[in-house]
Structure 1
């Protein structure tokens, strides 16, 4: 009998990760690998080579990409941390199961997210939003969710996608005080031809060696047009200045990059009461680590200013629009942490190994929930922009 599409996807999830057991030593692990028909060279592809390199019971993960020299934007190094192997196995399996849900895209699927448990619990869950029951699909995947919880919530009355659009006549945004140095901080209002959003910190493009301004693509009503649309910066007590023209538009990730013009340049500084400097960014597993430790993220928006909130899900898939599903999303905080004009801001976390004021970018804030029963800010993770385009903060 020919296998269904779902069954084919399910078969791909039978990886060696499912055989990782707490307390398993290297000799036993290698024996399991070989008897399972795996060549040792495939270990890196499966993500289990880390298990062989660590102390028994622990694996190293990369939590962040950080610039060792803040003055050299093109130098990056990996930040490493050791975590329980059983926790790592559960989280990696949850990532795979979440991808299975997204690829299958069964009727009524609105999105899902991975929610790692604490290190002590050594568990992870996948939270799924549906407009109806999972039906036969759940019967197909239930056995695979061994060690990973499947939390299903029915979402109704999603409303109109226009609710995520910014309307700049309804608020008084925070403007930059001055531009005497030519360096433009993030967290302040920027202006497109039809709306106002928040300016993000400098986004680096290693392919072109450009340092780019960045904000939300949806702030350009009808979509950003490269080399045509421009981005401006309103200045407190003065006229707006033009920052540059749109270099790239990424509507799925809801990100627009702008090449600097004139003397104004994007900065690593965030407009906060105390000096704040972006030193790097968190990885997907770095975000999972924060959830495991019940840590919070911060953001500075042009309207709501500085807020703090807990992470609610990582590597999320958001299909609340009719146009496309968005992958690599980050859910954090509550719906009150973002309002019209805050889109384009970033969420960040204090760098535990950096200098005072150094932070690591978690993700890009694009929208908030506007449907009953759920409350969070959602946007693309910084790691997803790096994975898809090479960009990094």
Structure 2
């Protein structure tokens, strides 16, 4: 069947994007638009409108959503920085390859993650987890991934979750400031304990929620009726609220405050970190490129740090569906039962000393041989899929 005019236009756009991704400079890009009969607005269609304003060899990317006013969660705005165009092209292509792997969901596929190289390398890798019964990456994906390293790993014996040690004492909330509860302390559901995350915001009515892991309500017939309680040291427990929204695919439960206490945009660590916003997907990519550490404060293991091992990850180890937009970091000892609901974070490079940006929401850890990391949903995924922000 002959190509239609629309098919031809799509092909021309794809070709132009490929040339741009391989390092076409701005002048050559503009010449191609003009000689090809494209309007200048076509740059927006290609997703490269900001490319025209950058210096040769660099492209601006949105790296974070940050508050102008630390006390006003609705003053959030985008922050950008320029990165090498070659690195950007490699990371963007790795995201696309990773998405293609997830869509195929071929037999033996257990998950994958993007691992950007350093900014000067112009490289990115996709790490692919395969079961141990002889499966391999489909040839069509390998062909698509030209220029991107595919690092295939065989994962052995992904069996029932092995629970962590039970002997740790949970971290209880101490003195509360202005009736606000920080992240990193213990909360109780009707069936288990978990960790409170920092205040989670939604633009629908400018609502503010407590948040913890949805799986902490396992055993409840109706999670939406679940209540969350704050245990106190030598004091009576206080009811925080009732589950208003829950999202199994990202494993979060948003709790509507019903008492006198409110969630705080702070973390219960010695330095009292103040949450100023969150990283985007490319913001996480730049952290990997800089070999940066993430931190977390869990109700059981307390404060730990670790390197990012993969971003925009797909996790198919549990449940009957794959979780997308995952963040892998640290090691399996950085999380145990009761730490779910904590967040990973990194210092805001442009903020005050105590300002931090949220990277992701911690849900689980590896329990199978050969791999060791914490995994959970990236903050950017909560925004993209459900409109929340920290």
- TM-score using structure 2 length: 0.92
Unaligned runs of 5+ in 2: 2-10
Q: Distance in 1 between matches of 2:144 and 2:45?
A: 21
The Cα of 1:24 is off from its aligned counterpart by 3.0
Partner of 1:142: 142
Cα gap change, 1:33 to 1:195, in 2 (>3 Å): farther
The residue aligned with 2:386 is 389
Partner of 1:248: 245
SS in 2 for 1:80: strand
Instruction: Kindly state the Cα deviation for residue 22 of structure 1 after the two structures are TM-superposed.
Output: 6.2
Match of 2:24? 24
Residue aligning to 1:279: 276
The CA distance in 2 between the partners of 1:60 and 1:186, in whole Å, is 32
Q: CA deviation at 1:208?
A: 2.6
SS in 2 for 1:141: helix
1:380 to 348, 352, 377: 377
1:51 is matched with 51
Distance change in 2, residues 1:273/1:63 (3 Å): same
CA 1:40/1:317 → structure 2, altered by over 3 Å: closer, same or farther?
A: farther
Distance in 1, Cα, partners of 2:360 & 2:20: 30
Query: Partners in 2 of 1:15 and 1:256 — Cα distance?
Result: 43
User: How many residues are aligned here?
Assistant: 380
Please show how residues 169-248 of structure 1 align to structure 2 within 5 Å.
Answer: 170-179=167-176, 181-222=178-219, 225=222, 227-248=224-245
2: CA distance, partners of 1:227 / 1:23: 51
Aligned to 1:4: none
Could you tell me which residue of structure 1 aligns to residue 343 of structure 2?
Answer: 346
How far off is 1:212 after superposition? 0.3
Note if 1:316 corresponds to 2:313: yes
> In structure 1, what is the Cα distance between the partners aligned to 2:299 and 2:353?
23
Deviation at 1:239, TM superposition (A): 1.8
| Aligned ranges 1:327-338 → 2 under 5 Å | 327-338=324-335
Structure 2 residue 371 is matched with structure 1 residue 364: no
- The offset of 1:59, in angstroms, is 0.3
Gaps of 5+ in 1: 2-10
Partner of 1:77: 77
**1:34/1:374 CA distance change after superposition, 3 Å:** farther
- Give yes or no for contact 1:319–1:326 (8 Å, CA) kept in 2: yes
1:38 offset after TM fit, Å?
6.5
Distance in 2 (CA, whole Å) between partners of 1:36 and 1:253 is: 43
In structure 1, C-alpha distance between the alignment counterparts of 2:360 and 2:353, rounded to whole Å: 21
CA contact (8 A) 2:128 2:152 kept: yes
What whole-Å deviation, never above 9, does each CA across 1:218-268 have from its counterpart, x for those lacking one?
011236835411000111111211000000010110000000011100001
In 1, the alpha carbon distance for the partners of 2:80 and 2:330 equals: 26
The corresponding residue for 1:265 is 262
How does the TM-score come out when normalised to structure 1? 0.91
Contact 1:313–1:330 (CA<8 Å) still a contact in 2? yes
- Aligned partner of residue 232 in structure 1, secondary structure: strand
Counterparts in 2 of 1:207 and 1:21: CA distance versus 1, 3 Å: closer
1:31 to partner: Cα distance: 3.8
Question: Which residue pairs with 2:68 in the alignment?
Answer: 68
Equivalents in 1 of 2:279, 2:221: separation in Å?
Answer: 27
CA pair 287-64 structure 1, distance change in 2 beyond 3 A: same
Conserved? CA contact 1:119–1:292, under 8 Å: yes
- 1:319-338, Cα deviation, whole Å (9 max, x unpaired): 11132110100000110111
**Cα deviation 1:37-74 (Å, max 9, x = unaligned):** 87654433432223222111000011100001012111
Relative distance call for 1:159 and 1:226 in structure 2 (3 A) is closer
Aligned to 2:129: 129
Instruction: Give the superposition deviation at 1:17.
Output: 3.8
The separation in 1 between residues aligned to 2:287 and 2:243, in whole angstroms, is 34
Assess if the C-alpha contact under 8 Å between 1:18 and 1:89 holds in 2: no
Query: 2:158 matched to 1:151?
Result: no
For the residues of structure 2 that align with 1:18 and 1:112, how far apart are their CA atoms?
Answer: 24
CA distance in 1, matches of 2:95, 2:83: 17
Say yes or no: does 1:291 pair with 2:285.
no
Write the distance in 2 (CA, Å) between the matches of 1:339 and 1:15.
48
